[in-house]
Amino acid sequence: MAESMLGLKRTARCGEFSVNDIGKEVTVMGWVQKSRNKGGLVFTDLRDRSGILQIIFEEDVCGSEVFAKAGTLKNEYCIAVKGNIRSRGKDANTELATGAIEVEAKELRILSESAVLPFQIEADTNTREELRLQYRYLDLRRPPLQKNIFLRHKLCIAVRNYMDEQGFLEIETPTFIKSTPEGARDYLVPSRVHQGEFYALPQSPQLLKQLLMCSGFDRYFQLARCYRDEDLRADRQPEFTQIDMELSFADVDDVIAVNEGLIKRIWKEVLGVDIELPIERMTWQTAMDKYGSDKPDLRFDLPITDISDVVKDCEFSVFADTIKNGGYVRAICVPGEGHMPRKKIDALVDVAKYYGGKGLAYLCVNCGENGEHKCSFAKFMKPEELEAIIKACGAKEGDLIVIAADKFTKVCQVLGNVRLELGKTLGLIDQGAWRFLWITEFPLLEWSEEENRFMAMHHPFTSPMEEDWEYIDSDPGRVRAKAYDIVLNGTELGGGSVRIHRADIQEKMLEVLGFTPEKAQSQFGFLLEAFKYGVPPHAGLAYGLDRVAMWMAGADSIRDVMAFPKIKDASDLMMGAPSVVDKQQLIDLAIKVDEDIINKNKEK
């Protein structure tokens, strides 16, 4: 039976006591981690968010009634204990922070009992994630998750303090907004008052923060909830948090300066790690050419070399034709791996194919039985052509060269991923490193084969680089943007841009993106209107807070740093959301659910 706390007041949390408290009378409250009866004594490990404290019930001290009650304690009962702190003497448990002391109990109250648990509350668990998410409130009792949530809190506080010191105002923006394009699908909220009309949940507060600059707030930040209705590939969540910011009268260098300060500060405050500044910068073009990725992992090198010039006239049609058709032949030299077993090379070829490549050619320098080259395309090449490839790659005896030939995007994607695979399988990655990198000068536009038109690479409000604007009609793909990403260990932590603040450029940009003036007006007429009234030049950036926290916590997934995450199909297993709603709710909203479509989709 549950008892009340009446008359008891907690002295401190379990983990907060030490040998300095020996002799003191204390009241502690928490959960039973485990309790066992050993030779007339009941030992109970009491747990709260600060740690574990041992409680000991001795019949002589606590009396037979309390002792009998202690004998009924089971895992995860929530209890209060009053007693005296005493030394454990030679029985001290050095593995426990409070292992030198224990509470000699005099009083016990069972505040609430626990039913049989669906899984044990332990640091290490084999319980499958679905079950843990269904009982997330229990899962969150586990020390590693408690630690992650603490870390996230500390991170948020560090961000707030730093931004405040830098003159940023924390301003909340609404969650019900007008649908604005950022690339993903919007989550929609039907309006009851305006039946048939919908709010959208913000994919980010992009336009609102730009309008705050129009309002003269100069520097804004927010830990902003964002919502994107995407198919959840890999490690994404339909709702997530951004550290979002915007600065007036700022250009690329100003944003980078503020953010390098932020990164240094949060890493120091949360992890005690010193990040060296300035952070390296690399243009998008260099990153793609050299590492095949716009978020290269620089914890190891293995750069890509373009050998198109070297092989353009060779007889190997795979190479020569690719170049003739506007593609590239590129290579990675892997030092000392020329004797890599065939099976491992085949695994690399599979990676190349997985990422849409046709395959990989390879050349093992002087690795044949008689010191000749082992090469998958030797029969198509003259010896001097092979030597030229080896020279271009800076390879030497015993090295492996892998080669891909394809259109620019494909060849980057294929070799970028083969490079990552090599980094992983050859153990080249320094796991303790914090390798930050700025990627700058992204293309303003990217061609979409699917839509047969240019799309904004960042978003439609990103400023072009002044020196490239003249090509906007003649060669739009050539125009670079004042956009930047911050990359850590091969993942994108955040990104942003200098914004277009001139109405004429904004209108032109929308035209290039295929918006008719009417469509532009109906989607973000409010922004175009605001830009008529003296808009300051401005720029901003947003980080995925969850991702930052994940890296800091050394977690495998952003779910591990979120209190209540969703699973891949965007459902919440604990609450059972999304769910069917009451008929009347739909009537109020003038919404009719099409059962035929739903049933058909269910069959799929």
206 binds ligand ASP (CB under 6 A): yes
Sign, CA dihedral 468-516-213-197, equals: negative
Q: How long, in residues, is the chain?
A: 604
Choice from 27, 54, 180, 204 touching ligand ASP (CB under 6 A):
204
Choice from 497, 501, 548, 573 touching ligand ASP (CB under 6 A):
497
Considering beta carbons, is residue 483 or 520 the nearer one to ligand ASP? 483
Considering beta carbons, is residue 103 or 483 the nearer one to ligand ASP? 483
Considering beta carbons, is residue 145 or 226 the nearer one to ligand ASP? 226
Question: In sequence order, what E strands does 335-452 have?
Answer: 361-364, 374-375, 400-406, 436-440, 445-448
Question: In sequence order, what E strands does 49-204 have?
Answer: 51-58, 78-87, 101-112, 169-170, 188-190, 198-200
Sign, CA dihedral 512-514-519-523, equals: negative
Choice from 202, 464, 490, 495 touching ligand ASP (CB under 6 A):
495
Pick out residues in 89-118 that bind ligand ASP (CB under 6 A).
none
Give the nearest distance from C-beta 554 to ligand ASP in angstroms. 25
542 binds ligand ASP (CB under 6 A): yes
Distance CA 79, CA 493 (A): 42
Considering beta carbons, is residue 207 or 298 the nearer one to ligand ASP? 207
Give the nearest distance from C-beta 230 to ligand ASP in angstroms. 13
Residue nearest to ligand ASP (CB): 204
Task: List Cα–Cα distances, 21 to 27, 52, 83, 85, in angstroms.
Answer: 12, 16, 12, 6
Q: Smallest Cα–Cα separation from 143: which of 51, 71, 207?
A: 51
Choice from 151, 211, 213, 541 touching ligand ASP (CB under 6 A):
541
Options 360-368, 467-475, 510-518, 534-542: segment touching ligand ASP (CB under 6 A): 534-542
250 binds ligand ASP (CB under 6 A): no
Total residues interacting with ligand ASP, rule: CB under 6 A? 8
Give the nearest distance from C-beta 149 to ligand ASP in angstroms. 24
Considering beta carbons, is residue 56 or 510 the nearer one to ligand ASP? 510
Options 10-18, 69-77, 142-150, 537-545: segment touching ligand ASP (CB under 6 A): 537-545
Give the nearest distance from C-beta 253 to ligand ASP in angstroms. 16
Options 55-63, 257-265, 307-315, 491-499: segment touching ligand ASP (CB under 6 A): 491-499
173 binds ligand ASP (CB under 6 A): no
Considering beta carbons, is residue 242 or 413 the nearer one to ligand ASP? 242
Contact 278, 253 (CB under 8 A): no
Residue 33, sorted as left (phi over 0), alpha (psi -120 to 50) or beta, turns out to be alpha
Options 446-454, 505-513, 522-530, 538-546: segment touching ligand ASP (CB under 6 A): 538-546
Contact 103, 85 (CB under 8 A): yes
> Which residues are CB-neighbours of 211 under 8 A, at least 6 positions away?
526, 527, 530
Give the nearest distance from C-beta 220 to ligand ASP in angstroms. 11
Distance CA 222, CA 246 (A): 9
Choice from 296, 416, 540, 565 touching ligand ASP (CB under 6 A):
540
Q: Smallest Cα–Cα separation from 380: which of 403, 350, 396?
A: 403
Identify the residue whose tokens are 């993903």.
184
Distance CA 562, CA 284 (A): 31
Element spanning 509, H or E: helix 503-512
Distance CA 314, CA 382 (A): 8
Give the nearest distance from C-beta 502 to ligand ASP in angstroms. 18
- List residues near ligand ASP by CB under 6 A: 204, 206, 495-497, 540-542
